[in-house]
Amino acid sequence: MTKLSVNINKVATIRNARGNNLPNLIQFAKDCESFGAQGITIHPRPDERHITYQDVYDLKPIVTTELNIEGFPNTSFINLVLDVKPEQVTLVPDPPGVLTSNAGWDTLKQKDFLKEIISEFKSIGIRTSIFVDTEIQNIENSVETGTDRIELYTGPYAENFNLNKEAAVVDFINAANLAKNLGLEINAGHDLNLDNLNYFKNNINGLLEVSIGHALICDALYYGLENTIKKYLNNLK
């Protein structure tokens, strides 16, 4: 079964809007796990507009499944990850100030940059994943960075799913098959939801984990958190 990692950035956004501790981010993470989530994903950004660096330290001792820290590997982020030692770090090519992750790494141009950082993380036992699109060249060059996994950026799949789901998934099928043949493990994330998740999962060979935040939190407003997590887990069976 493909694992579900719940991205709780949006919960932190709501909390920060009022400057207090409602909703309680730590309790929310605990509840996600108790309801069946197999991981917690957070993305601390330089401006701390949702997840703060203190949140990262607070979450580490209470997450009992898998803590996945996403982010652009600037010096502050690298030092944070080395200090906290999560089970997984996912590197994304977000420049400061972007609204959300919207592209994968150019693993040819940025290969040496990624290789150095990944080597440092792996030296202390942190599994690494890098955010990539479905371009064959970017998949092939991912191997040379030393990463354990790739996370397929599924924004284009979600955008085109309702137009033609067969066409929307074909590049991801090819990318996943290539990655598996090259010895890379596969994660996926971005705009996956209850409408498009099961079809994606059923077509992607070797999909180990999906990270879902925005859609899941939106669904939880209607269905409740426990029911929502169950719905997502059922889509991953």
Q: Rounded distance, CA 18 to CA 209, Å?
A: 33
From the DSSP assignment, how many helices (H) and strands (E) are in the chain?
Answer: 11, 8
Q: Is 209 an annotated catalytic residue? A: no
The catalytic position among 43, 50, 66, 209 is 43
Q: Is 48 an annotated catalytic residue? A: no
Burial class (CB in 10 A: 0-12, 13-18, 19+), 163: exposed
The catalytic position among 33, 66, 151, 190 is 190
Query: From the CA atom positions of the chain, what is the Rg in Å?
Result: 17
Query: Which among 4, 1, 2, 17 has a CA at the least distance from the CA of 230?
Result: 4
Q: What percent of the residues of the chain are helix, what percent strand, and what percent coil, each to the nearest 5?
A: 45, 15, 35
Strands (E), 105-229: 127-132, 149-153, 185-189, 207-212
The catalytic position among 33, 66, 70, 151 is 70
| Residue 144, SS3 per DSSP | helix
Q: Is 70 an annotated catalytic residue? A: yes
Q: What are the residue numbers of the active site? A: 43, 70, 190
